Structure 1
């Protein structure tokens, strides 16, 4: 997948795509419905499949005081979109000047003149342009005037519950320690991705070495211990593993900077600076303190045994069926 962060000097091969537009935070089932519609249109026109998104997320620019809310960082988003077969990712810098574009200027300058889109796809609730004045209807009108197609994907809900799939609903599920409910809306396990950083190395001293990753800037799931599936993306140990992870502030040791520490089962190797993707499968217990290291080690051992049993039938790649049922159009 090509990842393009500037619209200057685009080649002919980088223009003329059928392009899905949005923030795609989480790349959930609603986003995937937009991508599926775009994929079919791109294939019918023999055009590349592209996604147009923005970095930083517009909410980070206009509400910088908000608590962390993103489900994934830019690298994780790009990784997920590449796995879904996107050919080109236009990752445009978002600032106040960009926000100042009217809906008409966005359509003419960005979509038509710079990208030369064959067509675009958006969700039914899409808004754009200064003051969020543009919507799917104004985009259709712009497409007719400028000569590109506009497709609008229905909103998506979960069969059985009728709950609308949204990044907000996924954040709520993760906050409540319900990663399977979040996964039902995502269509994949919620993953925390990034490089392995050096920590205090307590896990190794306790007999349970961990790969430590920062979660700064991300919406924090409920703090506690999780059964996880892990993809080591880079390095000599690249592959898929099961494991157990602690997510939070390590109250036993009086620390207050949240991170995630993943212990990979049956693994022996150096993962420092490698890129990991940790998928949350099941919340096991909240964070807690213990009466000494022996009690902590005993609980870590029990956590590992519980996670092994729970993950025995969970595939290392892909995504197992969930009780909430498949997605459906949301009325």
Structure 2
């Protein structure tokens, strides 16, 4: 998949396209339906399939004083967009100037003049242009006026409860620590991505060394607790392009047993004490919630629970359980 970071990178000889647009935060199952329809329409007409997305998220531009966390970083968003079969993605830098485009200005500039859209595929909740004043009806009218077809993809709801797939729903599930529920809405495991930093090194002293990520820099982090999941080292992926996935027990929170303040994500790679990950960008995938974060009455009780967390994580992930460390150097 080609990634064009701005209109200046779009090839001058780009032919007609089938295009869609959206933030696509998380690229959840609702997004996937729209993106799949875009790819299908392009393949049927032998055209190029393109998605327009935006960075940074519009919420951070319009409400800069409010904390807003992405479900997926731009890197992960692009990876997930590529997995849908798109030929290209145009990443537009979102700004107040861009936001001031009327619906017609936006469509004419980006969909018609830049991408030469022969068809535009959007969900029925599409909004675009100044103050989100453009909707599906606006798109139909502009398509008739400017000479492109429009396909509106109806919302598809979850079979279990009838709720539409949405980023809001994912955020609610993660806030409750329900990473399995978030996986169902996303269509894949929720992940966070960040650089490993130095911590207090208590995990190593306890016999369970961890890769520490600062939660404030990771986007949407689930509720405090202990999770089973995977640590992925993108820079160390095998030559065949597969992921270097390492099974892990993951702690999210402030380490209340040690009266911690800073919220972190700490991944203990099962059975590995030889990894040097400091300064490396890693991905942490959260598969299952094991338990809430609690303060323990002393180190022995904490070590007993950590051994149980590791064993349970191994069981869930389908890997051999490592032996419990024989000794702890913690004082």
Shorter chain as denominator, the TM-score bin is 0.7 to 0.9
Partner secondary structure for residue 11 of structure 1: coil
Is residue 287 from structure 1 mapped to residue 287 from structure 2 by the alignment? no
How many residue pairs are counted as aligned between the two chains?
A: 313
- Could you tell me which residue of structure 2 aligns to residue 149 of structure 1? 149
Is residue 95 from structure 1 mapped to residue 95 from structure 2 by the alignment? yes
- Could you tell me which residue of structure 2 aligns to residue 253 of structure 1? 258
CA deviation after TM superposition for structure 1 residue 24, in Å: 0.6
- Could you tell me which residue of structure 2 aligns to residue 242 of structure 1? 247
Partner secondary structure for residue 75 of structure 1: helix
Checking the alignment, whether the CA contact within 8 Å between 2:251 and 2:265 is kept in structure 1 is yes
Greater radius of gyration (CA) = 2
Cα deviation, 1:20-61, whole Å, max 9, x if unaligned, reads 211111111000001110110111122232221111111111
- Could you tell me which residue of structure 2 aligns to residue 323 of structure 1? none
Cα deviation, 1:137-169, whole Å, max 9, x if unaligned, reads 111221222222222111121113112211111
Note the residue ranges of structure 2 that are not aligned, 5 or more in a row: 320-331
Is residue 161 from structure 1 mapped to residue 161 from structure 2 by the alignment? yes
Task: Write the distance in 1 (CA, Å) between the matches of 2:254 and 2:223.
Answer: 11
Checking the alignment, whether the CA contact within 8 Å between 2:19 and 2:115 is kept in structure 1 is no
CA deviation after TM superposition for structure 1 residue 66, in Å: 2.9
Structure with the bigger RCO (C-alpha within 8 Å, sep 6+) is 1
Task: Write the distance in 2 (CA, Å) between the matches of 1:68 and 1:105.
Answer: 28
Task: Write the distance in 1 (CA, Å) between the matches of 2:216 and 2:16.
Answer: 36
- Could you tell me which residue of structure 1 aligns to residue 104 of structure 2? 104
Task: Write the distance in 1 (CA, Å) between the matches of 2:27 and 2:237.
Answer: 28
Checking the alignment, whether the CA contact within 8 Å between 1:101 and 1:129 is kept in structure 2 is yes
CA deviation after TM superposition for structure 1 residue 270, in Å: 2.6
- Could you tell me which residue of structure 1 aligns to residue 208 of structure 2? 208
Q: 1:110 to 1:161 in 2, by over 3 A?
A: same
Give TM-score scaled by structure 2 length: 0.87
* Cα RMSD, aligned residues only: 2.1
Is residue 79 from structure 1 mapped to residue 79 from structure 2 by the alignment? yes
Q: 1:104 to 1:260 in 2, by over 3 A?
A: same
Checking the alignment, whether the CA contact within 8 Å between 1:235 and 1:274 is kept in structure 2 is no
Is residue 262 from structure 1 mapped to residue 267 from structure 2 by the alignment? yes
Task: Write the distance in 2 (CA, Å) between the matches of 1:2 and 1:212.
Answer: 33
Partner secondary structure for residue 8 of structure 2: coil
Q: 1:3 to 1:215 in 2, by over 3 A?
A: farther
CA deviation after TM superposition for structure 1 residue 13, in Å: 5.5
